[in-house]
């Protein structure tokens, strides 16, 4: 497996189309969850240079901070709290165009302006979430949802 990432140019869809098989390659043959979450976060950060990208994992009925790229972040989030806890509770992807307009948003950094949170499923249950924050408003849409859901589906 090559550890170099080829960074694609072009529109967002083209960037995801290039990234998806590369992430698949990074995960192939590596059974360790932490290693795989870390490489997914790093690959997404390298391609898109978002403000924050990382995982929270369900441990003892709380979301606990996992591998991420970006500034330090809050470590624990309860079910139903913030965007992450809401995505966990609803077992659904949530796109937030303006975090200040999301009731209960947890501001780990005041620089974060928009956000997408994608649940990770195992055996039909949410086992964690992928959280991506941008320092610009309205950065995430249905294209991000489709591809980020495909990316987290690669996690086994």
Residues lying near ligand SME in the complex (CB under 6 A) are found at 52, 73-74, 77, 82-84, 105-106, 108, 112, 115, 131, 133
Nearer to ligand SME, 115 or 144 (CB): 115
> In whole angstroms, how close is the CB of 131 to ligand SME at the nearest point?
5
Nearer to ligand SME, 20 or 57 (CB): 57
> In whole angstroms, how close is the CB of 1 to ligand SME at the nearest point?
29
> In whole angstroms, how close is the CB of 63 to ligand SME at the nearest point?
8
Nearer to ligand SME, 108 or 118 (CB): 108
> In whole angstroms, how close is the CB of 17 to ligand SME at the nearest point?
27
Q: Which of 87, 91, 90, 59 is nearest to 75 (CA)?
A: 59
Distance CA 146, CA 17 (A): 11
- Tokens matching residue 123: 């055996």
Q: How many helices (H) and strands (E) does the chain have?
A: 4, 6
Q: Which residue is nearest to ligand SME (CB)?
A: 82
Nearer to ligand SME, 5 or 106 (CB): 106
- Tokens matching residue 48: 């898109």
> In whole angstroms, how close is the CB of 3 to ligand SME at the nearest point?
26
Distance CA 91, CA 71 (A): 26
On the 0-12 / 13-18 / 19+ scale of CB atoms within 10 A, 42 is middle
Nearer to ligand SME, 23 or 66 (CB): 66
Distance CA 71, CA 60 (A): 25
């Amino acid at each position: 497996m090559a550890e170099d990432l080829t960074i694609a140019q072009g529109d967002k869809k083209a960037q995801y189309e290039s990234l998806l098989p590369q992430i698949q390659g990074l995960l192939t043959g590596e059974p360790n969850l932490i290693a795989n979450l870390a490489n997914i976060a790093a690959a997404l950060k390298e391609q898109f240079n978002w403000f924050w990208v990382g995982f929270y994992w369900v441990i003892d009925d709380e979301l606990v901070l996992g591998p991420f790229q970006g500034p330090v972040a809050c470590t624990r989030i309860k079910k139903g709290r913030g965007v992450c806890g809401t995505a966990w509770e609803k077992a659904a992807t949530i796109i937030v165009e303006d975090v200040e307009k999301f009731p209960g948003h947890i501001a780990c950094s005041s620089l974060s302006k928009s956000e997408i949170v994608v649940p990770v499923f195992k055996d039909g249950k949410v086992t964690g979430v992928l959280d991506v924050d941008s320092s610009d408003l309205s950065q995430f849409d249905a294209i991000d949802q489709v591809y980020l859901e495909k990316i987290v589906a690669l996690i086994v």
